[in-house]
Amino acid sequence: MYSLMFQYWWILLPAIVLGAIAQLSVRGTYKKYRQVKTRDGITGAEVARRILDEYGLKAIPIETVQGELTDHYDPRSKTLRLSQGVYRGDNVAALGIAAHETGHAIQHARSYFPLAVRNTIYPVASFGSKLGPLIVLGGLLFSFSDLLISIGIVMFAVAVVFSIITLPVELNASTNAISVLQRGGFLSEPELRGARSVLNAAALTYVAAALASVLTLARLLLLSRRR
């Protein structure tokens, strides 16, 4: 199995390169616009609260979470969680990220179809992304390999669908975030450009993840043809 794991590794090179670029871009852009204070001194938590209230989502609490760039909306508990830097931050990066995460809460409340599909397949996708490749490789070693290979590929294919459908979910949240920040007068035009840069850099990480999943599936299919 050890030798199989390194076959067709070169297929993943584009995703590896794009992933590295995306990570450098998002952290560099975040660091840059974290230094740009907003004109009104409003924080990420305050913006998130105002947006949620505007959309009739007053029951959704906003909590802090440890780490950097760990911000997310939890659809299970219907809770918006912001990293401390975003929660208390009164800078362009913080407001852009906070508005983006409220976008997911709004999507959930409005039953945004791509988000509903993503949430539905998440358990299988999470399981398949971890075990799918191992099941395929295991199938290449045992006599009942055809069955194992098919199961592994189907499981990982669900993870690929999850990665792909994540793209419109994230892009929609970012587009709405910029629109809300502009409409609410939270940021000036130059500040909006900065927030857009932060969200575009973050979007690139999801593109890299989707590419990685597609290329990994292609690699698994090539491995399966060794049969």
Give the active site residue among 54, 63, 68, 101: 101
Max Cα-Cα span within the chain: 67
Residue 170 is a catalytic residue: no
Q: Which helix (H) or strand (E) segment is 16 a member of?
A: helix 13-34
Burial 81-105 (b: 16+ CB within 10 A, else e): bbbebbbebbbbbbbbbbbbbbbbb
The count of other CB atoms within 10 Å of the CB of residue 208 is 22
State whether residue 209 is helix, strand or coil: helix
* Among 178, 180, 188, 203, residue whose Cα is nearest residue 52: 180
Residue whose C-alpha is closest to residue 30's, from 111, 112, 113, 92: 92
Give the catalytic positions in this structure: 101
